[in-house]
Amino acid sequence: MSRDEGAVIAAERDVQVDHAEGTVEVKRLGIGFWLSIAWIVLIITLAILAPWLPLKDPDQNFVDIQGKGRPPYSPSGDHWLGTDQDARDMFSRIIFGARVSLVVGFSAVAFGFVVGGTIGLIGGFVKGVFDKLTSFVMLVLLSFPALILAILITSLMERSLFTIALTLGILSIAPVSRLARSASLVFAEREFVTAARAMGAKPSHIMIRELLPNVLIPMSALALLGTAVAIVAEGGLAFLGLSVEKGSTWGKLILIGSDSRTLENAPWVSFGPVVALFLTVMALNYAGDRLRDYFDVRELAL
């Protein structure tokens, strides 16, 4: 493609072609990205600080038959997002619910990335029997419909925060390892790795010092997206009554408000947490997507 054609196409894609340096500059992350990050930070902060914030007790029943009739009470000055059928304050329940939902989400992703990422990284570099074996195992894992697998696992043990997070983590191992593996394969062919090999560096050394930093880049871009998926998955499990036993998560809150009567008369019971979930997931999705564009992960896409 001639230089001027390049300029035409580049101009059409909002990309700056710097002739002097021969570099191409992709546009910045954008304001949407920062807004999303801001929301995520806000939610995390609120969740962490929840016990110390001036919120109503999420488990207390603020029944007031005299003044307001029977619960659920609609949003008002007293209860910003109304109450549920047991007159518990929705606003504070949502914030406290964030604690579990977020913890589950992040730790599931962390687990999946560490385990899946390691397997994939090693597999892509070492290849051979190890790779064939692990790839096959991953493929089997992937062939299980995810939710069913989750239910299967959760029904095997008691449902604590740890086990739920673990389950979701296990679910994320397969896709993450696939990504790590393909990234590893790509980078393993690059010259700096060959150079390191030629210098006599040990395989483990190469993997950690050369491959890992490079593979981490696309993976971290996907971490945000993965968290979104994990939070949604937890919500799904909660909806089926299969999430953590104690404590509330957004999924559980949504479930509580989801029967037809409540939906009809007091939609806020369900939709309050729905909106919170939606905004958080959207923020994670959007930020993750922008990061993916920025680091141009497309070529390594699953």
Instruction: Report phi then psi at 60, rounded to 5.
Output: -85, 145
CB of 85 to another protein, least distance (A): 16
Q: Which of residues 190-229 bind another protein (CB under 8 A)?
A: 228
**C-beta closer to another protein: residue 16 or 194:** 16
CB of 73 to another protein, least distance (A): 19
C-alpha dist (Å) from residue 281 to 99, 144, 275, 278 = 15, 24, 10, 5
CB of 137 to another protein, least distance (A): 8
Q: Are 61 and 86 in contact (CB under 8 A)?
A: yes
- Interaction between residue 133 and another protein (CB under 8 A): no
Which of 232, 243, 235, 231 has the alpha carbon at shortest distance from 154?
A: 243
- Cα 150 → chain centroid: 16
- Interaction between residue 267 and another protein (CB under 8 A): yes
Range in contact with another protein (rule: CB under 8 A) among 116-124, 134-142, 177-185, 202-210: 134-142
* Tokens matching residue 261: 């009567």
Q: For residue 273, say if its preceding peptide bond is cis, omega within 30 degrees of 0.
A: no
**C-beta closer to another protein: residue 219 or 281:** 281
Give SS3 for 89.
strand
Per-residue binder mask for another protein (CB under 8 A), 238-257, x = binder: -xx----------x--x---
- Interaction between residue 114 and another protein (CB under 8 A): no
- Interaction between residue 285 and another protein (CB under 8 A): yes
- Interaction between residue 63 and another protein (CB under 8 A): no
DSSP states of 213-254: HHHHHHHHHHHHHHHHHHHHHHHHHHHTT-S-SSS--HHHHH
- Cα 130 → chain centroid: 29
- Interaction between residue 12 and another protein (CB under 8 A): yes
Count, residues near another protein per rule CB under 8 A: 51
To 5 degrees, how large is the angle CA 266–CA 268–CA 269? 80
- Interaction between residue 16 and another protein (CB under 8 A): yes
CB of 253 to another protein, least distance (A): 11
Amino acid type, 91: F
- Interaction between residue 281 and another protein (CB under 8 A): yes
Q: Write the burial class of residue 121 (CB in 10 Å: 0-12 exposed, 13-18 middle, 19+ buried).
A: buried
The residues that touch another protein, with contacts defined as CB under 8 A, are 2-5, 7-12, 14, 16-17, 19-20, 136, 139-140, 143-148, 151-152, 155-156, 228, 232, 235-236, 239-240, 251, 254, 258, 260, 263-264, 267, 270-271, 274, 277-278, 281-282, 285-286, 289
